[in-house]
Amino acid sequence: MWAAPYPAGSGKVNVSGGTAELLVHNACVFDAFTVPNSFDPTHALGIFSAIINSMKIEWSGVTRSVPGFSDATNKFRGDFFECSATIAVSATTPKDTGHGFHFESNPATTHTNFAQFGTEHSGMFF
């Protein structure tokens, strides 16, 4: 599970306005180089500290609404809104790791395979 805390207020959802936003600065992460190495518990290729210098994801342009959805099998319910999104991200693996690398995205190139935002209540809140 690749989850981590973001500072309070990093993520915002405006259901009535049909938008959502995630804005993160200086998030400490790990650079595992490849997808399989990331999944490998031994990280045979190594794993190094890295930083997401900044990341901004914006959700907008609702194309499909799924209000009042409920899934008893997976124990979650909520209102969900499918839409498009754009991302601007800058990430760095410091040079002193011996694997110095920097990536700077071009937000204009973003292609949305799938995006959505909404409200959710799961588990004991289902």
Phi, psi of 4 (to 5 degrees): -160, 160
Instruction: Assess 32 for contact with another protein (CB under 8 A).
Output: yes
Residue 72 beta carbon to another protein: minimum distance, rounded to whole angstroms: 11
Distance between CA atoms of 97 and 39, rounded to whole angstroms?
21
**Nearest distance from residue 15's CB to another protein, in Å?**
8
Dihedrals phi, psi of 96, to nearest 5 degrees: -70, -5
Determine if 18 is a binding residue for another protein (CB under 8 A). no
CB–CB of 5/24 below 8 Å? no
Q: Given the complex with another protein, which of 26 and 124 has the nearer CB atom?
A: 124
Residue 10 as a binder of another protein (CB under 8 A): the answer is yes
Shortest Å distance, C-beta 42 to another protein: 14
Site for another protein in 65-124 (CB under 8 A): 66, 69, 71, 73-76, 78, 80, 82, 85, 87, 89, 91-95, 98-107, 109-124
- Output the six-digit token pair for 31: 């650079």
Q: Are 9 and 22 in contact (CB under 8 A)?
A: no
